[in-house]
Structure 1
Amino acid sequence: MNITLIANAVEVDAGVKRLSMRFIKQCAAPERERLSPELCEQITDAFEGHGLLTVPRKLPTSENEWVFVLSKDSPLGQAVSLAGAVIAMSLLGIPPLPDDLDDRFPELVSLGKGQGEWLRGIRK
């Protein structure tokens, strides 16, 4: 599976690239006729090996769909990884933010209009 072309394109474009699943299939497995769930998992594993992640995380099997391929080390890639961790913690019932957030990060809580209320809502 050769995704070097995709990895280089993501690197050149500041860590983010919007690609069609048709193009990803042509690069990763040109001999395959269709995208199967198993092939999509293999592509995802190959991306992870190159330090890349996709949005959505689970690749679609339709060649007409578009996905974003991100570098894990880019600011956007780190934000997506952090958001995934927050969602996972919320689903497990674990508060993703500390209770003393207001005391420890007052500028963060007051940043923007209404952002403080939104951050407090995550902890509940």
Structure 2
Amino acid sequence: AGLARLDPGTATVALLAADLPLLTPAAVAELRGALDGSTAGVACYVDGDGRRQQLCAVWRVSALRSALDRLAAERGGTVDGAPVRGLLAGTTVREVSWSGSGPPPWFDCDTDEDVRRVEEWTR
């Protein structure tokens, strides 16, 4: 439903977790730049172990719409409760290694300890 409200000229959207306090505009721009000149539908960071950070990604709107339609069809018409990794299945992904210094932009804060770590890093 949210994609239907986009301006028709919107080419890309960021799909981000809400608990990424270290995410910067430069990190999002790096993902967006990774799509330039690429045929991939989505660009997402990969961590040092090669795991895709799928909630720190930039999608082509057309690829996200297709992925949502496919996932909904597979799940009987709804994507409610579906894992985000289900969107990536069947989508060409451009994996991006973090080139910045310091903690990665996908570091999420799930616990009080995570918040304390971020506070220490940003002092």
TM-score by length of 1: 0.28
Considering only CA atoms, is the larger Rg found in Structure 1 or Structure 2? 1
Structure with bigger strand share is: 2
Structure with bigger helix share is: 1
Tell me: higher relative CO, structure 1 or 2? Use CA pairs within 8 A at least 6 residues apart.
Answer: 2
